């Protein structure tokens, strides 16, 4: 037996630990040096099903220079460089978190030749030109929508997938569902602003289905330069710092405050009493939310507070309807009623007659609550 073998056997515990440590160190270093994939939805560097790497590569093969940016400043610099080079530009905007303000959106729309927006929110629609409005969602179970217009791009692309899509209404509309209002494709008459109501059309997972690739190529490849803009948190406009309590206080409080503190300390020593030992008591039991709601309902019933119960039911229904119709937390009652009417194919007066009812007795309140429940289920299922 050699001396080295005997030494390793004698210190085999430390030898095994050293080998494990070195192996872990090497593995960690290799993993850190490997490039990390981009998992951002609709990113041109994301090869996952929800990414858009395939669309960017197809556009590049057809001569379109695709450039992804994640800030407004970088996007505007890219547009300015393309303008100085004499190249037309298209901007794809996918602001899924609603970071951009109305002024930023208007400035961006004026700086590019063509703006293609993917599933915009209400505040995003208010900032872009073209008069495009939300018109609801594609019904569950609808997988494909056929083109029903003479707009060049959709007419050449044909049918597209419509799963989890949103509907929009504008000066020109295409891919409208049967019996519905708006379409999966909406834009302005001059073609400078286009809204696509589905991320599936652009994503890697569904790009090869139906006419998705053709619609993406024609909508995004109209100009030789494409800026793929995914706004980030750095694009949120900086707001003014809130006023501090010291700034709101009057000048004389700087003298009165310390004096009052000194008087309070004297009062504590004057009137304070020695407290006994701490007594530990069990914490209150946890009350379920449904029990709290039932308890409040009993209080309203015992007090005969029909008006108060009416306002609570109306406010809760409006909040849930706004969430179902994707109107955002700042939507008013009139906007929710109008959107619900468009979604159900009814007039706003018909929807408003239900939501704005004012029951005076408990029996009327029960019947009205049942009407609200039926209305909310109808909006949710359609």
What pLDDT sits at residue 195? 94
Q: How confident is the model at residue 9 (pLDDT cuts 50, 70, 90)?
A: low
C-alpha distances in Å from residue 208, one per residue of 156, 215, 300 = 16, 11, 58
pLDDT for residue 167 is more than 90: yes
The more confident residue out of 16 and 33 is: 16
Q: Could you give the CA distance from residue 66 to residue 220 in angstroms, rounded to a whole number?
A: 10
Range in 100-104, 203-207, 301-305 with the lowest mean pLDDT: 301-305
Mean pLDDT of 342-367: 86
The pTM of the full predicted model, rounded to 2 decimals, is: 0.55
- Percent of the chain scoring above 90 in pLDDT: 33
Is 184 in contact with 138 (CB distance < 8 Å)? Answer: yes
Q: Which two tokens stand for residue 161?
A: 């997938």
pLDDT for residue 33 is more than 90: no
- For residue range 311-320, what is the model confidence (pLDDT) as tens digits? 888 888 888 8
Q: Could you give the CA distance from residue 119 to residue 146 in angstroms, rounded to a whole number?
A: 19
Averaged pLDDT of the chain: 84
What pLDDT sits at residue 292? 77
pLDDT for residue 35 is more than 70: no
Q: Which helix (H) or strand (E) holds 148?
A: none
Range in 3-7, 36-40, 324-328 with the lowest mean pLDDT: 3-7
Is 162 in contact with 184 (CB distance < 8 Å)? Answer: yes
Q: Could you give the CA distance from residue 150 to residue 340 in angstroms, rounded to a whole number?
A: 29
Long-range CB contacts (within 8 A, 24+) of 232-241: 232/70, 232/71, 232/99, 233/99, 234/70, 234/71, 235/71, 235/72, 235/99, 235/100, 235/104, 236/99, 237/101, 237/103, 237/104
Is 185 in contact with 214 (CB distance < 8 Å)? Answer: no
Rounded-to-10 torsion of CA 140, 141, 144, 148: -60
Q: Could you give the CA distance from residue 79 to residue 92 in angstroms, rounded to a whole number?
A: 12
Do strands 193-196 and 225-229 pair parallel, antiparallel, or not at all (unpaired)?
A: unpaired
With b for 16 or more beta-carbon neighbours within 10 A and e for fewer, the 247-273 pattern comes to eeeeeeeeeeeeeeeeeeeeeeeeeee
What pLDDT sits at residue 355? 84
Q: Which residue from 362, 367, 363, 368 is spatially nearest to 302, judged by alpha carbons?
A: 362
Which ranges in the chain belong to alpha helices (H)? Answer: 3-10, 12-33, 53-61, 72-84, 102-111, 122-127, 152-157, 212-220, 245-248, 253-271, 289-303, 306-324, 333-344, 348-355, 362-381
Q: Could you give the CA distance from residue 335 to residue 300 in angstroms, rounded to a whole number?
A: 29
What pLDDT sits at residue 274? 61
Q: How confident is the model at residue 240 (pLDDT cuts 50, 70, 90)?
A: very low
Token look-up 């630990």 returns 17
Mean pLDDT of 6-35: 65
pLDDT for residue 178 is more than 80: yes
């Amino acid at each position: 037996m050699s001396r080295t073998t005997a030494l390793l056997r004698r210190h085999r515990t430390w030898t095994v630990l050293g080998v494990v440590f070195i192996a872990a160190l090497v593995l960690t270093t290799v993993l850190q040096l490997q490039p990390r994939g981009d998992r951002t939805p609709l990113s041109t560097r994301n090869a996952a099903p929800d990414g858009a790497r395939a669309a960017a590569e197809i556009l590049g093969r057809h001569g379109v220079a695709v450039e992804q940016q994640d800030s407004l400043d970088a996007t505007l610099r890219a547009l300015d460089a393309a303008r100085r080079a004499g190249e037309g530009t298209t901007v794809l905007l996918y602001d899924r978190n609603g970071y951009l303000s109305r002024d930023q959106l208007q400035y961006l729309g004026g700086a590019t030749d063509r703006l293609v927006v993917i599933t915009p929110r209400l505040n995003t629609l208010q900032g872009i030109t073209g008069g495009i409005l939300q018109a609801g969602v594609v019904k569950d179970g609808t997988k494909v929508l056929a083109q029903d217009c003479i707009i060049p791009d959709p007419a050449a692309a044909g049918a597209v997938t419509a799963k989890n899509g949103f509907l929009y209404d504008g000066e020109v509309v295409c891919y409208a569902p049967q019996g519905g209002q708006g379409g999966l494709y909406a834009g302005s008459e001059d073609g400078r602003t286009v809204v696509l109501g589905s991320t599936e059309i652009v994503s890697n997972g569904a790009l090869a289905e139906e006419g998705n690739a053709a619609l993406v190529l024609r909508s995004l490849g109209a100009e030789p330069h494409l800026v793929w803009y995914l706004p980030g948190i750095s694009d949120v406009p900086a707001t003014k710092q809130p006023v501090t309590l010291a700034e709101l206080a009057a000048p004389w409080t700087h003298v009165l405050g310390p004096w009052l503190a000194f008087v309070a300390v004297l009062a504590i020593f004057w009137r304070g009493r020695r407290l006994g030992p701490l007594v530990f008591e069990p914490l209150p039991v946890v009350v379920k939310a449904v029990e709290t709601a039932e308890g409040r309902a009993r209080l309203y019933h015992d007090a005969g507070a029909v008006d108060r119960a009416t306002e609570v039911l109306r406010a809760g229904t409006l909040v849930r309807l706004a969430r179902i119709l994707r109107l955002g937390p700042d939507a008013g009652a009139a906007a929710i009623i109008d959107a619900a009417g468009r979604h159900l194919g009814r007039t706003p007066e018909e929807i408003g007659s239900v939501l704005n009812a004012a029951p005076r007795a408990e029996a009327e309140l029960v019947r009205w609550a049942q009407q609200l429940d039926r209305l909310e289920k109808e909006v949710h299922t359609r």
